[in-house]
Amino acid sequence: MSGSLSDLSIEPTAPAHPLAGTRMSGARMIMQVLSDEGVTAIFGYSGGAILPTYDAVFLYNEECARAGRTQIPLIVPANEQGAGFMAAGYARASGRVGVCLVTSGPGATNTVTPVRDCMADSVPIVVICGQVPRAAIGTDAFQEAPVPAVMGAVAKHIFLVTEPEKLEATVRTAFEIARTGRPGPVVVDIPKDVQNWEGTFQGAGLLPIPGYRRRLAELTGSALDAGAAARFFAMLGECERPLIYAGGGVINGNAAARLTEFATVFGVPVVTTLMGIGSLDTRAPLALRMLGMHGAAYANYAVDDCDFLIAVGARFDDRVAGVPDKFARNARRIAHLDVDRAEVNKVKRVQWSHVGLVGDALAALCAHGREQQFRRDFGPWVAELAESKRRYAMNYDRASPLIQPYYVLEELNRHTRGEAIISTGVGQHQMWAAQYCDFAGPRLWLTSGSMGTMGFGLPAAIGAQIANPARLVIDIDGDSSIRMNIGELETATTYDLPVKVMVLNNFGDGMVKQWQKLFHKGRLSASDKSLHKKDFIRAAQADGFRYAVRLDRKEDVPRIVGEFVAFRGPAFLEVMIDPDAGVYPMVGPGQSYAEMITGEFIPSRTKVDIKTPGPSEMF
């Protein structure tokens, strides 16, 4: 970073900060900016290079306690990766910027995975890393890592603070970048001597980032004009089978209410991506739930049958549009609303698009349609889809003597009624939860989508519980996925968080096993964990869970699931499920929706032969 204090952007009309002009350390400035930004929790693990800032956290909270002000709790995980995912869970569940505070070297590199995960799913967090003193940078000093080089490849932006006078503005700017435009993770690497430096707190000011702010101004000022709205409604008026395809951009853009309004006013059905779950109440008549590789059969059939596809905050990724030329194959036109220009026409050519804030664009479309008294009866299409939902509904072997995971989640859903915050690890349990649990609105479904990071579920649930202390928060996990960050069980009990942890145990990497059975002639290479010695119940009890129960009898499912949900405080439930249970429907890699495998218990339009993926097909 170069330049002088005169380069800082300070809003001239902003009222003076009560601490402006106060001498304080760089670490204390960091803490004050976090407070000013509305941070209500910090997730992190200490170490030598970040000690000054940890001391500032202690002193800040001590001062708040004396003055009767609200403190900012510091949540200490078992591992920095856990801290990153807790910050992500906090951000996903609240819509606010999550904060992760770690030391240099391994402390910083342990957060690379959550930073990349947040970048892939557009989640706003700020990671503050300690760094060795400026004079030691580049000398391979103790616990030194090239954080700008490492994080620059995976974060939305990275700052290395080399001029102490710019520290305050840099931290403030990090929040601005993280939360605006397409949200994402920002990393601030701060040498220890910069934290120890003393200077005058300005109480205002941002770094000059003219290019970013110019693009942001263009984005926020990009109003949908009457001409564009008229062209959109002309296409809508000419179609008979419209379908909204809603992605994570609806959730990240806080546009779920606008999407619901648009769909309801004009009677357009909605499918969502994995990340878009909650854009529309999953129980709504117009909701067709999730599409894609493991989407509902009726959702995928709707995409095949629609003649006008309206993509909102979605990016046509490989899990949805696996074969782009065959995706929405009967759609004569496609419209696309997104906050990121790079996503438009990237995978699928569209006939109408708008780049801007999707909530504002949906509101403008609604207003235009009402003003022009747009009327189009899509009743026959909606009725056809309702019949499809009935005919191709999710189903499984209900007579099996083994505990089926679908049954367990149906029972859980009966208690949560779409109101719980549910996080997951990654694997079969993730897809089952997406398929069988209801979500009444946005920010109730937390999962690692694009990165597919095992170990996400438990720490994300902890972060979500911190952000929403009064809500029921449940981590639906797998026996392999929870192993990745199982140390965070102790974090839940240390802070007495009433997180509920449900582990669906099928003795291994279930999704990998499913692929090995389908495409590798049943060779379970490295995926079968049936001989592993882990006793999850004893592990949970050792970490302080007073409720730690193993469910292994089908007849006990209703009673024990009810007890688990109702328990006051942290609760752990291990469910011994059918080890051969699969995730269906399934669209194999390189296959179209017409080639979807629905399994034994979900009807299919056509008989489908299982095809072995080609050498370049993705997992």
Tokens of 153: 């490849």
- Angstrom distance (rounded) from CA 382 to CA 376: 12
* Residue 388, pLDDT score: 98
Instruction: Kindly state the tokens that stand for 444.
Output: 């109730």
> Band of the pLDDT at 8, cuts 50, 70, 90?
low
Report the C-alpha gap between 510 and 145 in whole angstroms. 36
Q: What is the mean pLDDT of the segment spanning 176-195?
A: 98
Q: Please write the tens of the pLDDT for every residue from 287-321.
A: 999 999 999 999 999 999 999 999 999 999 999 99
Answer whether residue 452 shows pLDDT above 90: yes
pLDDT surpasses 70 at 362:
yes
pLDDT tier for residue 3 given thresholds of 50, 70 and 90: very low
Segment 382-402 mean pLDDT? 98
- In terms of C-beta density within 10 A (0-12 exposed, 13-18 middle, 19 or more buried), how is residue 437 classed? buried
Structure tokens at 255: 């546009």
pLDDT value of residue 618: 66
Which pLDDT band, with edges at 50, 70 and 90, does 27 fall under?
very high
**C-alpha–C-alpha distance, residues 533 and 85, integer Å:** 27
Amino acid sitting at position 398: R
Residue 14: the pLDDT is 66
Distance of alpha carbon 292 from alpha carbon 288, whole angstroms: 12
Do residues 523 and 473 touch, judged by C-beta distance below 8 A?
Answer: no
- Per-residue model confidence (pLDDT) at position 611: 77
Q: Which of 150-159, 253-262, 335-344, 510-519 has the lowest mean pLDDT?
A: 510-519
- Please, what's the b/e burial string for 188-205 (b: 16 or more CB within 10 A of its CB; e: otherwise)? bbbbbbbbbbeeebbbbb
Active site residues per annotation: 80, 142-143, 192, 511
Instruction: Please tell me the predicted confidence (pLDDT) of residue 608.
Output: 83
Q: Is the predicted pLDDT of residue 57 greater than 80, yes or no?
A: yes
pLDDT score, position 4: 37
User: What are 395-410's pLDDT values in tens digits?
Assistant: 999 999 999 999 999 9
Question: How far apart, in whole angstroms, are the C-alpha atoms of residue 259 and residue 366?
Answer: 10
Residues with Cβ within 8 Å of 567's Cβ and at least 6 positions away in sequence, in order, are 500, 547
Is 610's pLDDT higher than 90? no
Place of tokens 């707190």: 201
Mean pLDDT of 416-441: 98
The residues, ordered by sequence, that sit 6+ positions from 576 with a Cβ below 8 Å of its Cβ are 403, 505, 550, 551, 552
Instruction: Using the predicted structure, report yes or no on whether residue 330 has a pLDDT greater than 50.
Output: yes
**What percent of the chain lies above the pLDDT cut of 90?**
94
Domains located in the chain, CATH noted: 5-212 (3.40.50.970), 221-391 (3.40.50.1220), 405-576 (3.40.50.970)
Q: Residues 214-228: what's their mean pLDDT?
A: 96
Tokens representing residue 561 in the block: 């699931």
How high is the pLDDT of residue 414? 98
Flag whether pLDDT at 387 surpasses 70: yes
Note whether 152 and 158 are within 8 A (CB).
yes
Q: Give residue 508's region: left, alpha or beta (phi > 0; psi -120 to 50).
A: left
Q: Is the pLDDT of residue 283 over 50?
A: yes
> How far is residue 467's CA from residue 473's CA, in Å, rounded to a whole number?
11
What's the whole-number average pLDDT of the chain? 96
pLDDT for res 13: 53
Q: What percent of the chain has pLDDT over 70?
A: 97
Render pLDDT for 91-136 as a digit per residue (tens, 0 to 9).
999 999 999 999 999 999 999 999 999 999 999 999 999 999 999 9
Residues paired with 573 in a beta bridge: 502, 549
What does the longest C-alpha to C-alpha distance in the chain come to? 75
